[in-house]
Amino acid sequence: MAKATLVSLAESLGVSRQTISNVINAPHRVKPETRLRVEHAIAESGYRPSAAARQLRTRRSMNLGIRLMPVVDGINGSILDRFLHALTEAAQEDSYRLTLFSAATDDDEVRQYEELLNVSDLDGFVLTGTHHGDQRTAWLLENEIPFASFGRPWSDTEDPFSSLHPWVDVDGGAGTQQATGLLLDQGHTAIGFIGWPAGSGAGDDRRDGWRRALQAAGVFADQLDVAVNDGVPAGARAAESLIAAGATAVVCASDSLALGALSAFRSQHRAPATPNVIGFDDTPVAAAVGLSSIAQPIEEAARDIIRVLTHTLSGDADAGRPDKHLLLPPTLAQRVPHPLAGNGWLG
Amino acid sequence: MAKATLVSLAESLGVSRQTISNVINAPHRVKPETRLRVEHAIAESGYRPSAAARQLRTRRSMNLGIRLMPVVDGINGSILDRFLHALTEAAQEDSYRLTLFSAATDDDEVRQYEELLNVSDLDGFVLTGTHHGDQRTAWLLENEIPFASFGRPWSDTEDPFSSLHPWVDVDGGAGTQQATGLLLDQGHTAIGFIGWPAGSGAGDDRRDGWRRALQAAGVFADQLDVAVNDGVPAGARAAESLIAAGATAVVCASDSLALGALSAFRSQHRAPATPNVIGFDDTPVAAAVGLSSIAQPIEEAARDIIRVLTHTLSGDADAGRPDKHLLLPPTLAQRVPHPLAGNGWLG
DNA sequence: ATCACTAAGTTGAACGATCAAATAACGTTT
DNA sequence: AAACGTTATTTGATCGTTCAACTTAGTGAT
C-alpha cells in the first residue's frame, strides 16, 4: 500500500485533512469522539507526518547546530562528552534536535554556518569555547542567526551581561578562588598556579581567581605563576619548576595539568597528608586517582543554554523570560589522593 | 527586503526558476554565460535555498541519525569521541549531516527511532555496539529503515557475512591473538586475559583471540582467564589474582582494565624490562603512560560505514558497490612503559 | 424570534523547491 | 531551404503540510 498522507487518511476516514492535522497539533479543537477515531486510524495506518512539508509551512525545523570540537586530549575531552549529552537530552525535551558538524578552525566554523544554512534548515546554533575577539559571534549577530554560547563574550571593554546574545557560563574564577582559599586555610602560603598562556578568556579567568584569593590573604606569589600548553607532561614539568621555587601546593587550570603536578609532587616525595593539588573539570580520571578538582555544573549549563535558546526561538514576549546571561557557580570536589596514586603518570 | 526565493530571483533576472535551480543542482545544463549571471545574482541577493522545500520534493533529507551512548568511562569513552568525529566528517564529505539523539537503553533507542521518524525526516541510522539478540537491528529491518552498524551482527547460528544489513567492524580477536603472540615470542607462557563477562560479542571475540593464540602455541592457560566489569580498579584487582596464580603477562579487553593491571604489576615489583601488559583501544591515556594497546582503525571504520550507508541510500545498482560487510584488522601500538608510569593508578 | 457566541469541522491558498515534459534556439547536414 | 539533432530554457504539476478564513450547528441570553 502507498504511504499514508493527511489526504489519504482523511479520505478513508471521511473527514478533512485539517481535522487530522488538528488531532496531531491541537487536539483540544477536536471532539473527543472523532479524535479517538482519528488516533486509531493513525496508529492503524502507520501514518507518519512529513517533517519536510511541516517545516516548509511553519518555517521552523526544530534543529539546532553544534560544532564538534576537535579531539585534543582524552582527559579534558570527556567533559565535552558530558556537555554534548546533556545538551542532546535537554534539546530532546523541548522537541529540538541537534545537528552535528565539525570544523577545524573558527573561520572554518563560520564557513560551515554558511554551508549548513544553505543545505539544511537550522533554527539556531550552540557555540562553545568563546574567546577574545570571537569572529563567530560577530558573524552570527550580523546575519541575525539565533544562537547561544557556552562561554561569556570575553571583552576588555564591554560588560558581558549587556551582550546582545544569550550565553551561559561557569564562574571559573570563583572556583579557583575557592580552591586557593581552601589551600590557604590548610596553612599553605606558597601556592602556585599552572595555567595556559594568556589570552584564552577562560584560562585568564581561572588565573585571576587564584590571584584574587592570594591578594585577599595578603600573600604575594606572582612568581609562582606558570603558563604552559595543556597536557600531563607539561603539567609535571611546570610543577617541578614551581616546587623548585618553593611552592607547596598548586591550583591548575585543568585536570591534565593537575595530574602532571600530582605526579611531580609524588616523585619528589613532597606529598603532604592533605591534598595539595587541585585540578579543574572534575574528569573521571581525577576521580579515579583521588585528585581534588573544581567541578563545572555542566549538565545544568547545557539545560540553561537550551532553555534560553529555545526561548529566543519561540519569540515569546519578554514576560516570563529566563535570564539571557547566566553565570553558574562551580563546586569543589574534594578528594584524598589514593596512597599510591599519582606517582609517575608521565615524567 | 523580503527573503529571496527561486521565483523572486528569477523574476528580477528575467529567467525562469528552473534555470536557477539548474545552476545550483546541474550547472552543466546551463550556458556558461547565463550561469555566471545567475551565480552573481545569487551571491548578491544572499539567496538561500529552502532545505525543507527541497526535501519535500526530493524525499531525501540528507540527515542520518546516531545515538549518543551514555558516558561510562572517561578513558574508554574517548574512542567514541573519535568515532563521532570521523563519522561527522565523513558524512559531511558526502553532503550528509548527523542528527544526535540519546537513549538510555536499547528499547528506548527503538522508541526514539519511532519518534525521530515522526518529527524529523531521517534518511537512515548509524548503530553502534551491536550485541547478541539485538532488538534494534530487528526493528529497523522490519520497518525497512536503512541503516549500517559499527559492529557485526552477533549470532551463534548465522554468518555475519550473509547478514541483511551493512556493517563494519574491527577484528578484535585478531588483535588479541596478535598481542598474545607477541608476548609468547618474548618468552611469556603464563599469559592471562582480563575481559568482560561473557555475552557481549566484542568481549567474547577478544577473549577468543587470546585463547586461539595460546592453543596454537600449545599452551594451556584456561585458568588465567578473568571476567570483570570494566574499570581501572577492577583491572587492578583482576591482575592481582592473576599474578597470584602465576601470570607473568596479561592481555586486556580495554585500556581501563590494562591500566589497572599495569598498576598491579608495578606495585608488586613484577615489571619486566619489556612490556607485559597490553590494552585495547589505544586511548590517549594509554599513550600518556606508555601502555601498549591494540588500536582500532576507527576513522577508517567511520568512513566505511558512511560509504556503505550512503551507497545504500543512493540506491545505485550493485555494480561498483562497496562491500556490505567489512571486517577491518586492528594494529598493535607497541610502547615501552615510562620508568615511573603505572605505579598506583588506583589500587 | 433574534442575536451573539462558542465549538467542530471544512476549504482554498500558500510554503519553495524539483521533476517531467514541452518548447525555443542554434548549428549541421542533406 | 527543409529536416535534423543538440543544447538551452521554460512551463505545468506536484511533494504534504499548516494558516486563515469560512461554514454549520448548537447553546443560551435578551
Å separating the CA of residue B5 from the C1' of nucleotide C18: 14
Range of the domain at B311: 63-169+298-327
pLDDT for the residue numbered A73 = 63
For residues A159 and A44, state if they share a domain: no
With a pLDDT cut of 90, the percent of chain B lying above it is 76
pLDDT recorded at residue B289: 78
Q: Are residues A182 and A291 in the same domain?
A: yes
Provide the 3-class DSSP secondary structure of residue B168: strand
The answer to whether the Cβ–Cβ distance between A101 and B121 falls below 8 Å is no
pLDDT of the residue at A344: 39
Q: Closest nucleotide (CA of B56 to C1')?
A: D15
Tell if B268 CB is < 7 Å from nucleic strand C: no
Chain A positions in Cβ-Cβ contact with residue B43 (cut-off 8 Å)? none
Instruction: For residue B232, give the chain A residue with the closest CA.
Output: A288
- For B66, the grid coordinates are 546516531
Instruction: Check whether residue A198 and residue A231 sit in a common domain.
Output: yes
Number of H helices, E strands in chain B: 13, 12
Same domain for B164 and B305? yes
Q: Which residue is nearest to nucleotide D18 (CA to C1')?
A: A57
B241 found inside a domain: yes
The bases of strand C with some atom under 7 A from any protein CB are 7-12, 14-21
- Cell numbers at B246, concatenated: 602465576
Per-residue pLDDT of A3-42, as tens digits, reads: 899 999 999 999 999 999 999 999 999 999 999 999 999 9
As a rounded value in angstroms, the CA-to-C1' distance for B266 and D8 is: 77
- What distance in Å separates residue B291's CA from the closest CA in chain A? 11
Q: Please tell me the distance from the alpha carbon of residue A202 to that of residue A173, in angstroms, as a whole number.
A: 8
Q: Chain B: residue nearest A122 by CA?
A: B51
Beta-bridge mates of residue A192: A250
With respect to residue B149, please indicate whether it lies within any of the assigned structural domains: yes
Mark whether A72 and A218 lie in a shared domain: no
Which residues are paired to B277 by β-bridges?
Answer: B250
Tell me how many helices (H) and strands (E) chain A has: 13, 12
Of A52, A61, A97, nearest to B56 by CB-CB distance is: A52
A71 with B83: CB under 8 angstroms?
no
Could you tell me if A32 and A69 lie in one domain? no
Residues A265 and A307 in one domain: no
Task: Answer yes or no: do A141 and A191 share one domain.
Answer: no
A288 neighbourhood in chain B, CB within 8 Å: 232-233, 345-346
Backbone angles phi, psi at B191, to 5 degrees: -105, 120
Same domain, A273 and A209: yes
Q: Is B346 in contact with A339 (Cβ distance < 8 A)?
A: no
| Residue B329 grid coordinates | 584488522
Higher pLDDT, A81 or A50: A50
- Distance, angstroms, CA A286 to C1' D30? 79
Shortest distance between the Cα of A87 and any Cα of chain B, in A, equals 10
Chain D: nucleotides below 7 Å from protein CB are 7-12, 14-20
Q: What is the pLDDT of residue B344?
A: 40
**Range with the poorest average pLDDT among A306-315, B139-148, B311-320:** B311-320
Nucleic strand C contact set for A 268-297 (CB, < 7 Å): none
CB contact under 8 A, B100 and A118: no
Say if residues B2 and B46 touch (Cβ distance below 8 Å).
Answer: no
Q: Tell me, what's the pLDDT at B340?
A: 44
- What's the pLDDT tens digit per position in B15-37? 999 999 999 999 999 999 999 99
Give the pLDDT confidence score for residue B346 in this predicted structure.
35
The per-residue pLDDT for B150 is 96
Q: Which residue, A295, A313, A342, sits at the end of a domain?
A: A295
> Can you give the CATH number for the domain in which A14 is found?
1.10.260.40
Residue A121's closest chain B neighbor by CA?
B51
Cβ pair B183, B276 in contact under 8 A: yes
At residue B160 the predicted structure's pLDDT band, cuts being 50, 70 and 90, is very high
d(CA A131, nearest CA chain B) in Å: 23
Residue A346, in any domain of the structure:
no
Are A74 and B120 inside 8 Å of each other by CB?
A: no
Whether the beta carbon of A56 falls within 7 A of nucleic chain C: the reply is yes
Residue pair A64/A99 in contact by the 8 Å Cβ criterion: yes
Protein residues contacting strand D, judged by Cβ under 7 Å: A 3, 5-7, 17-18, 21, 24-25, 47-50, 53-54, 56-58; B 14-19, 22, 28-31, 33-35, 53, 56-57, 59
- Residue A347 pLDDT > 90: no
Q: How far is the CA of B260 from the C1' of C13 (A)?
A: 69
| Mean pLDDT across chain A | 90
Determine which of A20, A50, A285 to mutate to test the interface with B (most B C-beta atoms within 10 Å).
A285
pLDDT digit string (tens) for A85-144? 999 999 999 999 999 999 999 999 999 999 999 888 899 999 999 999 999 999 999 999
For an interface test with A, the pick among B3, B48, B102, B126 (most A C-beta atoms closer than 10 Å) comes out as B102
Give how many domains chain A has, as a whole number.
3
CB of A34 within 7 Å of some strand C atom? yes
Same domain, B109 and B254: no
Query: Which triple of cell numbers denotes residue A281?
Result: 573539570
Q: Which three cell numbers stand for residue B240?
A: 592481582
Categorize the per-residue pLDDT at B75 as very low, low, confident or very high, splitting at 50, 70 and 90.
low
The DSSP-derived string for A174-230 is HHHHHHHHHHHHTT---EEEEEPPTT-SHHHHHHHHHHHHHHHTT---GGGEEE--S
What integer is the mean pLDDT of B197-210? Answer: 95
Is A249 part of a structural domain of the chain?
Answer: yes
pLDDT tens-place string over residues B263-302 = 888 877 666 667 799 999 998 778 877 899 999 999 999 9
Our measurement of CA B26 to C1' D4, in angstroms, reads 26
Q: How far is A160 from chain B (nearest CA, A)?
A: 31
Mention every residue, 6+ apart, whose C-beta is less than 8 A from residue B306: B87, B90, B91, B93, B94, B96, B126
Query: In terms of domains, do A10 and A116 share one?
Result: no
Please name the member of A61, A81, A342 whose beta carbon is closest to the beta carbon of B52. A61
Residue B342 falls inside a structural domain: no
pLDDT band at B343 (very low <50, low <70, confident <90, very high): very low
Q: Is residue B336 part of a domain?
A: no
- The reply to whether B162 and B182 lie within a common domain is no
Whether B339 is in a domain gets the answer no
CB contact under 8 A, B51 and A119: yes
Q: Do B289 and A346 touch (CB under 8 A)?
A: yes
Q: By CA distance, what is B285's nearest residue in A?
A: A74
Strands of B167-170's sheet, edge to edge?
Answer: A325-328, A167-170, A147-150, A124-128, A63-68, A97-102, B97-102, B63-68, B124-128, B147-150, B167-170, B325-328
Domain CATH number, residue B79: 3.40.50.2300
pLDDT for position A267: 79
Crossing angle (nearest 10°) for helices A74-93 and A298-314: 40
* B337 found inside a domain: no
Whether any strand C atom is under 7 angstroms from the Cβ of B215: the reply reads no
The string of pLDDT tens digits covering residues B108-157 is: 999 999 999 988 889 999 999 999 999 999 999 999 999 999 999 999 89
Instruction: Select from B53, B118, B338 the Cβ nearest to the Cβ of A56.
Output: B53
A140-CA/D19-C1' distance, Å: 30
pLDDT digits (tens, 9 = 90+) for A290-299: 899 999 999 9
Task: Give pLDDT, residue B78.
Answer: 76
User: Whole-number Å distance, CA B121 to C1' D14?
Assistant: 19
